[in-house]
Structure 1
Amino acid sequence: MEHSDKPADDALLREASDWKLRLDEAPRDPALRRACADWRARDERHENAWRRVSEAWALIGDLPVQRQRWPGHGEAPASHRRWPRGAALALAACLLLALLPAAWRYWQADYRTGVGQTLAVTLADGSAVVLGADSALAEAFSDGERRVRLLRGEAFFDVAADPRPFLVVAGEVRARDIGTAFSVREDDGSYGVGVSHGEVAVSYRGGRARHLMPGDQWALDRASGTARVQRSAPDRVAVWRQGRLFVQDRTLADLADTLERHAHGYILIADDALAARRVTGSYDLSDVDAALAAMVQPHGGRVLRITPLLRIVL
């Protein structure tokens, strides 16, 4: 039978994924293999869905593990540098890589949120903070300085008046308040600072500080060390507080990290060129699958949901 070029619909992709999972769990069951063969032969669309899912399974086995997801950003052990074949093992590897660093950061935090959750807190000085989804924050105030550490995710700060300087530390990024309301973001591969009102002095690795004004959106790619500042309306800063994601010239790889904080599971982009494509737009965080599809479709991408916890972008 020749394969149809017509994309399989989501229901058939889910059925094909279910067959694949069952065969992976019982590869020597002849009755199960015959039943799967009958299902594939029943309709050309079934065979097309099976082919798409099989391609995704093969990609899981061939893709390298991202180094930054191991604790301390060290090299992954040699026995884990490639995804094991089989959906259950691949999914377990995804979850292990995602959860170990997060557990360590959360252990250090004074405030934390789960996936898809936000939290409003008041710090000891009266500053108001909204902590974004899957985020962690540690408070370290002293007599001479109000310092907080953003360990993961993002937060919006409305800083109370106080003679002590207010400093947000995220990795090697420093954002110092100068009478301000501003946001700070730290994902696995990038940082961001946006100013709603007032002024912020932001620096990286102790370098010269850059002063940001209302509407300025500062973004840093940690891998290249390249920083850029773009302008937008001040009311677009931290619109995730209203359930939306405003994106201005960010890569799909970067956005995958952000979306993972708003929906349970792991997003795997199977094409390096696609992962490097840049996106600008506004998306609804209440439907992460629709947001991800809207981000990748203009670049020829398609989202395949293998299980409730694994999305692959082809």
Structure 2
Amino acid sequence: MRSKDVTNTQRKRNREASDWLLRNSNPNLSQDERSKFEAWLDSDPENCRTYSAAERLMGDARQAIQSDPGLANIKVTSRSGAKPIVTTLVAAVLATGAFLAFDGPVRLEADVIAESGEMPVITLEDGSDVQLNASSAISIDFTEKRRTVHLLRGQAFFRVATAPGRPFTVEAGETSVTALGTAFDVRYGNTETDVTVTEHAVQIDTVGNSSRSIQVDHDEQAVYDHATRETRVLPVDSLVALAWKRGQLAVDNAPLSAVVDEMNRHFGGHIVITSSMLADRRVSGTIKVADTDDALAFVKKALGVKAIRLGPLIFLR
């Protein structure tokens, strides 16, 4: 876990530095783009410092490539039969991919990051408590008038300290959740954002419902669909919804893809489903997702699948 204090300006600068780093990894970057990059560096001394920090992260990615024989020794042979060479382009693509895989952009923007297998509880400056699910990240933007937490990825449970006249809001993509009470959970997924209220209520504003706010009460869950931009509210058992805090996942007829997404939070490598048909197969039960071996055993028994390990990867077929 790592924390730091950044402002909105610095957060914007971090995103710009990450963007420029990825652009500069292209060996065919145009002279016009290079000039724009130099102008960006010269416009503020902090830009140079932030870009250097991003380069250090890229350096970590390159180092990881060099330490992996399977990546460091990738050869490209010309059609003319010339001896194998390691090309600049391949190196750039690998380093860029590793930078993204190592969460370079998120690490530049986040104030707190929970690594795989971590579920830390932190206390914010106002006394509010936040528990992050594994592989989750937040940035914090507190002012005298507002308290805003950006859920950059993953899931977090919030127990909000009372502060009249100073609203507490969690932003997750297109969803904005403002506390009207004390405790709620936000999960920012790939296809939907889920908000589960365990105490009192929250107000939800989304891009899809910009004309009105939705109030969600305790023991209710709001599900915002990223594709349709529609929100539905349904009753929920908070003990089941918050099973992740105990390292578990309780599902009822859920697709295997959703289960694997949760397993990947706790796994240092990556679990890959080899077919869309398998990804859509349904699973029910309580799964110990924090224990990858136990979770795999559950899935193999429930669906009759095979798990093949290749280094940090596990393929389900």
* TM-score tier (shorter): 0.5 to 0.7
Contact 2:207 2:229 in 1 (8 A): no
CA RMSD of aligned residues (A): 3.1
Q: Identity percentage over the alignment?
A: 33
- The residue that corresponds to 2:251 in the other structure is 247
Correspondence 1:257-296 to 2 at 5 A: 257-295=261-299
Give the structure 2 partner of residue 313 of structure 1.
Answer: 316
- Give how far 1:143 is off: 2.6
SS in structure 1 of the partner of residue 181 of structure 2: strand
Deviations 1:80-134, CA, capped at 9 Å, x for gaps:
xxxxxxx946xx97x9479447221122111111110121111121111111211
- Cα distance, 1:218 vs structure 2: 2.9
- Name the structure 1 match of 2:183: 181
Q: Which residue of 2 aligns with 1:113?
A: 114
- Whether the 8 Å CA contact 1:159–1:177 is kept in 2: the answer is yes
For residues 267-292 of structure 1, the C-alpha deviation after alignment (integer angstroms, 9 at most, x for no partner) is 11111122133444321133223324
After superposition, give the CA deviation of every residue in 1:121-173 in whole Å (9 maximum; x if it has no partner). 11121111111211111111123221110111111100111122111001111
1:25-51 per-position Cα deviation (integer Å, ceiling 9, x unaligned): xxxxxxxxxxxxxxxxxxxxxxxxxxx
Structure 2 matches for 1:105-254, cutoff 5 A? 105-163=106-164, 164-205=166-207, 207=209, 208-225=212-229, 227-248=231-252, 250-254=254-258
- Distance, in Å, in 1 between the alignment partners of 2:301 and 2:221 is 25
Q: How many residues are treated as equivalent by the alignment? A: 228
2:283–2:302 Cα contact (<8 Å) kept: no
User: What TM-score, normalized by structure 2, do the two folds share?
Assistant: 0.63
Going from structure 1 to structure 2, the CA distance change for 1:292 and 1:229 (only over 3 Å counts) comes to farther
1:10-159 matched pairs, under 5 angstroms: 88=70, 96=97, 99-100=100-101, 102-159=103-160
Q: Is the 8 A contact 2:264 2:270 kept in 1?
A: yes
> How far off is 1:251 after superposition?
2.9
- 5+ residue gaps, structure 1, are 1-70, 78-86
Relative to the length of structure 1, the TM-score reads: 0.63
Which runs of 5 or more structure 2 residues have no equivalent in the other structure? Answer: 1-17, 20-25, 27-68, 72-92
